[in-house]
Amino acid sequence: MYDLANGVLLLSFILAGYAAWAAFMGGRWRQPELVKSAERSAVALFLLSSLAIGILTYAFVTRDFSLEYVASYSSRTLPMFYTVSAVWAGQAGSLLFWVWLLMMFTAIVVWQNQKKNRQLIPYVLGTLLFTAFFFFGLMVYATSPFKLLPSPPADGNGLNPMLQNPGMVMHPPTLYLGYVGFAVPFAFAIAALLANRLDSQWIKTTRRWTLVAWLFLTLGNLFGAKWAYVELGWGGYWAWDPVENASLMPWLTGTAFLHSVMIQEKRGMLKIWNLVLIMLTFSLTIFGTFITRSGIISSVHSFGVSNLGPMFLAFLGLTIAVSGYLLWKRWPQLQSEHRLDAVLSRESSFLFNNLILVGMAFAVFWGTIFPIISEAVRGVKITVGPPFFNQINIPIGLALLALTGICPLIAWRKASKRNLTRNFTIPFAAGLVTALVLWLFGIQSIYPLMSFSLTMFVFVTIVMEFYRGAAARARIAGRSFMTALWDLTMRNKRRYGGYIVHLGVLFIFVGITGSSAFVKEKTVSLKKGDTVQIGDYTLHYQGLVDQSTDHARIIAAKMKVEKNGKFIGTLYPAKQQHRRHDPVSEVAIRQTPKEDLYLILSGWDEQERAAMKVLVIPLVAWIWIGGVVMVIGTLIALGPDRFKRQIDAVQRKAPRLQIPEVEHAH
Amino acid sequence: MRTKPLSLMLLVLLLVTVPVTAQNRPTLQDIKTSLTCQCGCAMTVEACQGAMSCTVADKLTAEAQALLDRGLDKQAILASFVSQYGEQILSAPTKKGFNLTAWITPFFAILVSGFAIVKIVQKWSNRQAKNSEFSGRKKVAAQDAPYEKMLDDVLRHLD
């Protein structure tokens, strides 16, 4: 069966190479038969890669340890849920998973574009299939998941206990869906350049693809953060590890792209910038994969040192070179249809938003690669860790927060004094009052103060946008406010979905600020019957609990918890000792919207004396709540607009009529 | 006048790269957060000690505690670790020499780009104003006013 699987990979590699050639040449020579052949090959490649991943999953489920990959990442006692997730736990399997997703997306692109974008499709397919050709090549020549062991062991090594967590099951697939998803708008951008179709069509076609990729990348980062928080056991959720940074950078540039495409769609500007952004985003996804898999920068998340680094570097170089060449070649045709009218305008504010997002991505990139630069220039190895990234990114993040409030409310073309006064007086006053109140309540550190005040400023701008729109609609249509609010959102999902996403971002800012600036922490050594006081909590240590399962011994400390003298529950921070792996912490968390009580058992002795770290982390739950709100907002923004459908219908009837009827007055 | 934007830029760089909190007597946690564990995990000593049963992190913590007990300040403690383990033990680059470029470059890039954007947009808007004056478009502009307003309305409602 595994000979068949290796054969499938080899056949896929050859077919992907042929299909990429057929697609590019079919487009260049205007040969529809060649393009059709590439389309059929793309669908066949999806089926072949599905077969390959199906075989690998089957090997895991049947615990076939004759496969080196299965023996390395699973064992007989591993629960089935984690056994299936082990498919993408290692280098080779995750590459197969990557290419399977890529082929699935390519097949969807073929299906969606049977009758539209026919000039672009050959080059879109060529780009996607060439990427698949590279990934299949890696599995054929460098790291196959179907490598057999000469003598299969009776049991496998098992999955790293840290990866046995629902967050870690969800984190890689969502991250890969994001990474791979950005390949589609990138392929359309390359196609637009190759086909010389430089209008906004490629952007309109890929808007939903971009949003979906962005959504999954957001989810991937949040699942990763949640996993780190509940599994790594240090009370944090983001350690600025190079691999974490690798997934944040394309998210930042992708977010910039999502915003700047609006300017091209509405005013025909920033064409070059949008192309640069999507090229940058795709390149950063490859850069992230390179960092994770090359072992060039040490990281707790990487797959270890491998021979894949130079190959990824070559692919990255090729991507940048081809993108740069095409951009240079089409430069004269990419000039804007309009120019910016004023510094104080919606267009300019979007430019500044882009500057901050890309600037932050650059800051993260710079910090990530600085150890390599330092070693090359000075010959001295250094580390760039959380203190650097926090200090650099906090002021940039605050600037971004301010622009989140400013961008949607400032007028297009040129903001008048009336526009500024009308839209910003109340939010600005709310921010100022918040700052004053917090100052009086003792919050006097500059960054938390700025963060909470700006959050209030942005929150009020969003509430005002919803309120004004819904109130006007309720007045005109004679409906209740809530019906009008619902109707308003549903009629312009893109706009109001976007505001809901911004609301989620605010919650995340609140969570990050609270959990970074106001943590209470105690490291204690307790003997049975001892009590520890932290914040409003009193914890009574009642001894150790020793449990054994098939694959681990679990030592937990029984902690009776009281809040303001009232019993609220019992927590069991623990350490798991696995037969084949190092011991890992199993933290105990009591979560509320106000704060988390977070207990880590560090060690113990024969007399049941327990070493423990106790933290009270304020507002951290708002990060996860914010994530959910962001998902809801993105899903709303993904839906078709009733308002836009009406405009399209009017335009179809009277193509020269460009101005839609205004639906509601502000 | 030309030095004004430059001075402003330098001031901003200085403000954002200088730590906001004052240097009080350091805590053990301060030190552990400023050190990278040498077990190969790439986490800070603080994070590594929580996440794993790491003997290297335990050893570094004990050394830090011993230095704190001797009454050394944060700078002296970190210098002691650097002399023993090399610069890579610090979890952030120092703010001197070549390492200073790590701290300044991102802000410098953002400020220069922001300044360039403002200048370019100002130049464009001035050129547009001049063009409309030269081509005697003032009268036409007056006639266009309703359409200009309509365009603004459409842009506002087409978000």
Sorted by where each begins, the domain ranges of chain A are 1-161, 165-342+352-362, 416-517+628-653, 520-618
Kindly state the helix (H) or strand (E) to which residue A38 belongs, with its residue range. Answer: helix A32-61
In Å, what is the CA distance from A449 to each residue of A284, A441, A456, A509, B123? 33, 11, 11, 12, 37
| A234 close contact with B: CB closer than 8 A | yes
**Nearest to residue B17, comparing CAs of A358, A367, A368?**
A367
Query: What is the value of pTM for the model shown?
Result: 0.88
- Mean pLDDT (chain A, rounded): 89
Say if residue A645 is exposed, middle or buried (CB neighbours under 10 Å; 0-12, 13-18, 19+).
exposed
Q: What's the mean pLDDT when you consider all of chain B?
A: 77
pLDDT for the residue A304: 58
What is the pLDDT at residue B1?
45
Q: Are A69 and A147 in contact (CB under 8 A)?
A: yes
pLDDT band at A25 (very low <50, low <70, confident <90, very high): very high
A613/B50 CB distance under 8 A? yes
Classified as helix, coil or strand, B44 is strand
pLDDT band at A32; cut points 50, 70, 90: very high
Mean pLDDT value across residues B91-116: 93
pLDDT bracket for residue A349 (50, 70, 90): confident
Q: How close is the nearest chain A Cα to the Cα of B53, in Å?
A: 6
Taking only the tens place, the pLDDT of each residue in A54-96 is 999 999 999 999 999 999 999 888 888 899 999 988 889 999 9
Q: Which residues from chain B sit within 8 angstroms of residue A266, using beta carbons?
A: 155, 158
Residue A657 has pLDDT above 50, yes or no: no
Dihedrals phi, psi of A584, to nearest 5 degrees: -130, 155
Contact B43 A582 (CB under 8 A): no
Using a CB-CB cut-off of 8 Å, the residues of chain B touching A300 are 41-43
Q: Among A211-225, A251-265, A288-302, which stretch is predicted with the lowest mean pLDDT?
A: A288-302
pLDDT band at A644, cuts 50/70/90?
Answer: low
Of A536 and A2, more confident:
A536
Selecting from B88, B93, B114 the residue whose C-beta is nearest the C-beta of A355 gives: B114
The answer to whether the CB atoms of A582 and B53 lie below 8 A apart is: yes
Give the least confident one: A38-42, A234-238, A416-420: A416-420
pLDDT interval class at A288 (50, 70, 90): confident
pLDDT at B150: 66
**Per-residue burial over A330-350, b = 16 or more CB atoms within 10 Å of its CB, e = otherwise:** beeebebeebbbbbbbbbbbb
Written as one string, the DSSP assignment of A303-364 is --S-TTHHHHHHHHHHHHHHHHHHHHHTGGGG--SS----SSSHHHHHHHHHHHHHHHHHHH
**Predicted pLDDT of residue A266:** 81
For the cut 60, the answer to whether the pLDDT of residue A268 exceeds it is yes
Provide, rounded to the nearest whole percent, the portion of chain B with pLDDT above 70: 62
What is the number of other CB atoms lying within 10 angstroms of the CB of residue A87? 25
Residue A663 has pLDDT above 50, yes or no: no
Q: What is the ipTM of this complex?
A: 0.82
Mutate which of A229, A234, A365 to disrupt the B interface (most B C-beta within 10 Å)?
A: A234
Residue in A236, A411, A413 nearest the CB of B47 = A236
Q: Which residues of A touch B150 (CB under 8 A)?
A: 659
Q: Which has the higher per-residue pLDDT, B1 or B91?
A: B91
Which of these ranges, A330-334, A361-365, A512-516, A647-651, has the smallest mean pLDDT? A647-651
Assigned CATH for A165-342+352-362:
1.20.120
Query: What pLDDT is recorded for position A235?
Result: 82
pLDDT range class, residue A164, cuts 50, 70, 90: confident
Beta-carbon pairs below 8 A across chains A and B: 177
The runs of H, that is alpha helices, within B1-136 are: 3-17, 28-34, 45-51, 55-69, 74-85, 100-134
Alpha-carbon A476 to chain mean position: 40
Chain A (327-386) residues lying within 8 Å, Cβ to Cβ, of chain B:
339-343, 346, 348, 351-352, 355-356, 359, 362-363, 366-367, 370, 374, 377-378, 380-386
Q: What residues of B are in contact with residue A367 (Cβ under 8 Å)?
A: 102, 106
pLDDT tens-digit readout, A494-510: 999 999 999 999 999 99
A307–chain B nearest CA distance, Å: 20
What is the average per-residue pLDDT within A169-191? 94
Q: What residue type is A531 in one-letter code? A: T
Chain A residues with CB under 8 Å of B50 CB are 232-235, 585, 600, 602, 613
Over residues A92-119, the pLDDT tens digits come to 999 999 999 999 999 999 999 999 999 9
Give the torsion sign (CA, B130, B133, B136, B139). positive
Q: Are strands A552-563 and A574-578 parallel, antiparallel or unpaired?
A: antiparallel
Closest CA to A186 of A238, A123, A240: A123
For range A558-571, the mean pLDDT: 94
Pair of tokens at residue A94: 């995750």
**Distance (Å) from the alpha carbon of A100 to chain B's nearest alpha carbon:** 31
Give pLDDT tens digits for B35-82. 999 887 778 888 887 666 678 888 999 999 999 999 899 999 999 999
- Torsional class of A653: left (φ above 0), alpha (ψ -120 to 50), beta (otherwise): alpha
Tell me how far apart the alpha carbons of residues A609 and A628 are, in angstroms, rounded to a whole number: 40
* Beta carbons within 8 Å of A179's beta carbon, 6+ residues apart: A98, A213, A217, A250, A285, A288, A289
Residue B46 and residue A234: Cβ atoms within 8 Å? yes
Q: How many CB atoms lie within 10 A of CB A19?
A: 30
CB atoms within 10 A of CB A387: 18
Supply the pLDDT for residue B156. 60
CB contact under 8 A, B91 and A232: no
pLDDT of residue B12: 59
